[in-house]
Amino acid sequence: MPDFKIFEERIGYDFKDRRFLETAFTHRSYLNENRKTSAGRRSEHNERLEFLGDAVLELVVTEFLFAKYPDRAEGELTAYRAALVNTQSISDAADALGMNDFLLLSRGEARDTGRARLIILANAFEALIGAIYLDGGYKAAADFIGKQLFHKAEEVVEKRLWQDAKSKLQEIAQERVGVTPAYQMLDQSGPDHARQFVVGAFLGDEKVAIGEGRSKQEAEQAAAEKALAAKGW
């Protein structure tokens, strides 16, 4: 069992009931593999806390953005919020806190280091917010969220991280070169259940970049991301 006192010191919050903290780190797979729990310990995974934490996270970030950007329209604020609380953003925050070292996972889940682990970390981060909220109230949860995420807001806005790659490429290309990007299917392969698409991103006659994906839309987004990088945008 991890030493959760170390984690409490790391985040600067002492739980009155540390069982909330333990539950926040407990993945469903761990309980499936460890059905016998010690006396007095909650045999509960973190999905309910994740559900609660997600709602608290959205409200806290909404309040912050509403106050920080009083001149921005609803649509822009919604996009900023989505960028701040998406899976990548909050899993990065979880990783920065070293949450990976405290996760209670099955042996199989513990071996996975790809996209699935990012999702597990993001879910645990939301569950941690729920745990802090139940243990210490709204202000404690809001303080934690502020320390972990609010510093990202200016970068999200300045670098247009709130836009998806295609939208960002279109806006910048129209501003700088007066051209609307176009996408062309270059290749597709694989069986029906595992198709792979290759798409080119063009500015006029110039093929700027190529992207691949499991759908045409995914390949176009990949091509747009690479085009932005190729142009230094």
164 tagged catalytic = no
Distances in whole angstroms, Cα of residue 148 to Cα of each of 11, 45, 49, 82, 106? 9, 23, 18, 16, 27
- H or E stretch at 207: strand 206-213
- H or E stretch at 185: strand 182-189
58 forms beta bridges with none
Give me 198's structure tokens: 């290759």
135 tagged catalytic = no
Please pick, among 22, 50, 54, 109, the residue that the annotation labels catalytic. Answer: 54
How would DSSP label each residue in 14-36? --SSHHHHHHHTB-HHHHHH---
Angle at 67 between CA 62 and CA 70, to 5 degrees: 110
Please pick, among 50, 92, 126, 135, the residue that the annotation labels catalytic. Answer: 126
180-191 residues labelled b (16+ CB within 10 A) or e (exposed): ebebeeeeeeee
Q: Which positions are annotated as active-site residues?
A: 54, 126
